[in-house]
Amino acid sequence: MPAAYGWRAKVGKLNPTVIASTFVYEFYKVVPPGVMLLTRNLSVKDVRNPEELDASVALMEEAVKELKRAGSDLILGAGIPVLLSAGADGNDKILKLLSDLSGLPAITTLSSAVDAFRRLEVNRLAIATAYGKPELGEKLADFMKAQGFEVVRLSTIETGLASIEKPKLDFSFVYQYGKKVFREADRAQALYFPSSAWPTVEYVEYLERDIGVPVVSSSLAAIWNSLRVLSVHEPIRGYGRLFSTL
């Protein structure tokens, strides 16, 4: 057995918030042995503050270099409000930046969601967000439409929590909210939770059974896409239909 963690693959994540929490837990709950997560935190405490989004983008160049130096095999950009803060093509610009700076494969939580929906062969999306600011959800919906998807329901709920407080969300709250958004949608083919801070892995299988369509979150899509791009092919069960496609 190799004598270093991450002997199979190392995923270097640009974590948008100042604290890495839910994604780290969910990553290690899902991935097979030998896969390691390296995180570099940026500066977001609350995505509703544009100054924090801009500051996070400004930190990316240094952060990518540090993740490469630490031995990352892939760079993962995260935080949809950060990715879209530079406009409709912000995600593409950041993807290019990550790739050019690192010389490594680069993905984002947003590009991963697009890849996930295409792999699942679904087109009509119900999106359940908790950004608090409707315009953030609208930016995301516009992006998904530009990728060829139909957004049949977009919902934004105010939780009263800052971004770094989202791990406090109760499983039942997110589960019931997702179910409600899906029921309000017109023939949605998938339910999308676009936040890595939301807990999802503990109940995604139950929610999929109850609503009858795939459920994709930012965390699930990013973990799946990281494994796919790094050619880590191993059966992963219990975390939704998406992982059956690896």
Q: Give the residue carrying structure tokens 């409707």.
A: 134
Positive or negative torsion for Cα 167, 38, 113, 213 = negative
Q: Do 55 and 34 lie in a common domain? A: yes
Residue 93: CATH number of its domain: 3.40.50.12500
Helices 90-102 and 109-120 cross at an angle (nearest 10°) of 110
Q: Do 138 and 199 lie in a common domain? A: yes
8 A C-beta contact, residue 10 and residue 36 = yes
Q: In the chain, which stretches have pLDDT less than 70?
A: 1-3, 43-50, 52-55, 132, 160-166
Both ends of the chain: CA-CA distance in Å?
A: 24
Q: Do 116 and 34 lie in a common domain? A: no
* Structural domains of the chain, count: 2
Q: Do 87 and 133 lie in a common domain? A: no
Q: Do 84 and 143 lie in a common domain? A: no
Q: How many Å is the Cα radius of gyration of the chain?
A: 17
Residue 91 in domain:
yes
Q: What range does the domain containing 82 cover? A: 9-109+221-234
Residue 50 in domain:
yes
Residue 2 in domain:
no
Give the rounded percent of residues in the chain with a pLDDT score beyond 90: 64
Per-residue confidence (pLDDT) for residue 76, from 0 to 100: 97
Give the rounded percent of residues in the chain with a pLDDT score beyond 70: 90
Residue 144: CATH number of its domain: 3.40.50.1860
Q: Do 31 and 105 lie in a common domain? A: yes
Give the Cα-Cα-Cα angle 199, 186, 47 (nearest 5 degrees).
35
Tokens matching residue 133 = 């600011």
Q: Do 207 and 121 lie in a common domain? A: yes
Q: Do 97 and 119 lie in a common domain? A: no
8 A C-beta contact, residue 206 and residue 175 = yes
Per-residue confidence (pLDDT) for residue 160, from 0 to 100: 64
Residue 162 in domain:
yes
Positive or negative torsion for Cα 190, 219, 109, 112 = negative
Task: Give the Cβ contact number of residue 129 at 10 Å.
Answer: 25
Residue 243 in domain:
no
Q: Do 126 and 208 lie in a common domain? A: yes
Per-residue confidence (pLDDT) for residue 83, from 0 to 100: 81
Q: Is the whole model's pTM more than 0.85, yes or no?
A: yes
Per-residue confidence (pLDDT) for residue 161, from 0 to 100: 59
Q: Do 100 and 39 lie in a common domain? A: yes
Tokens matching residue 243 = 């992982």
8 A C-beta contact, residue 134 and residue 198 = no
pLDDT in tens, 17-32: 777 788 999 999 999 9
Tokens matching residue 23 = 């994604």
Q: Do 88 and 48 lie in a common domain? A: yes
Q: Do 115 and 212 lie in a common domain? A: yes
**Distance in angstroms (rounded) separating the CA atoms of residues 77 and 237:** 25
Per-residue confidence (pLDDT) for residue 41, from 0 to 100: 82
Per-residue confidence (pLDDT) for residue 222, from 0 to 100: 97
Residue 164 in domain:
yes
